[in-house]
Amino acid sequence: MNAGSDLEKRRAEREPLRAKVEFYVDADIIEAVSVDVSQAGVRFDTDKPIRIRMRMTVGDSLLEREAQLVWAERASGSDNMSYGLEYIPDCEGVI
């Protein structure tokens, strides 16, 4: 996949920001269907994205939003993970 096609998929322009982010997943049980399994892990499908509540400080404002997990990726050669969350439009707000 080339960088040009990645940019075409984006709905909004990205701006760099380093901020502490706190997030939590509701204690609800989320149902899924397994796709495959190995000694190292499991892949599963859900009927909708997993919802996450998150808080972060942007400038002088504390932003609290509900978002959905849309992608995850492990960094090559390390345990670090990157996650992509998409804000849920009906749940916007600054505290």
Q: What is the pLDDT of residue 15?
A: 81
* Residue 75 belongs to a domain: yes
Q: Is residue 53 part of a domain?
A: yes
Question: Total domain count for the chain?
Answer: 1
Give the per-residue pLDDT at 33: 93
**With contact defined as beta carbons under 8 Å apart, do 14 and 24 qualify?**
no
For strands 42-45 and 33-37, give the pairing: antiparallel
Let me know: does 83 contact 72? Beta carbons within 8 Å: yes
Question: Whole-angstrom distance between the N-terminal and C-terminal Cα of the chain?
Answer: 38
Residue 92 has what pLDDT? 54
Which residue range forms the structural domain that includes residue 45? 20-91
pLDDT per residue as tens, the chain (95 positions): 344 445 456 677 878 888 888 888 766 788 899 999 998 888 899 888 888 899 989 889 998 999 988 888 888 888 899 988 898 886 555 54
Assess contact for 68 and 51: CB atoms under 8 A. yes
For position 9, what pLDDT does the model report? 65
| 47 lies in some domain | yes
